[in-house]
Amino acid sequence: MPETAPVTSTFRPELPDLPAQAERLIELGVHESAGVAVAELRSFAAAAEASEGAAGTLLAVHPDRAPASVLAPLLRREGKPGFVVTDMPDVDLFTPLEDLALPDAPLYLLTGIDRGDQMADWSPNEALPALGEQGRTPLALTEGIHWVLQQPAALERNHCFMTIGSRLRKANGALDARTPAIWISNGTGRDGGERRNAPKVGWCWAGNRHTWLGFASATGRRL
């Protein structure tokens, strides 16, 4: 197992304020997919912005309302839309781990987001307990997509990230060995050359290490 180090990245999130994030979701039509009224979304963002400690906070829609299959195509990089890899047709079955305790509400906030660059070349199986020891919570897949929707620069060549807060459970209750991640397509294989440099939602094996994938996490979630 790699040497344990605090999960802090050289990349610093510079998120828009919460009302601007709400307008971005409205522009993309996320509110319609989620069944959330424009007024409700704007009111939630305004109230959260007025609360203490709102700076650097991410606005998220609960994955039950806006799943990854809906959000991924809204991503953009160099004018190209995001996509889910062809061998992940079950992407929306990768749901948040039980101990993530997502708020039971259509809208919620994440604080202290970090890309986890220092955990590059760790496996998901190694990273998950280490994050818990540091008092951090791994991002769910939809939360990672929300981050890139609001701050596209969070996705960089050789500095992309996994979202191991989402996993698929088999019928017997065991975890599927795949773990979701968000990175940039090279336009090879089944991706197709036309998708080179597009944002990509895919997966990696839970026991494998990748030098170019960190582990996105947050300090917490709240309403």
Whether the per-residue pLDDT at 44 is higher than 70: the answer is yes
pLDDT of amino acid 50:
92
Query: Quick check: 112 and 218 in contact, CB under 8 A?
Result: yes
Give the per-residue pLDDT at 11. 76
One-letter amino acid of 182: I
pLDDT tens digits for range 94-111: 999 999 989 999 999 999
pLDDT tier at 54, thresholds 50, 70, 90 = confident
pTM, two decimal places: 0.94
Give the model confidence (pLDDT) of 167-182 as tens digits.
999 999 999 999 999 9
Does the pLDDT value for residue 7 go beyond 80? no
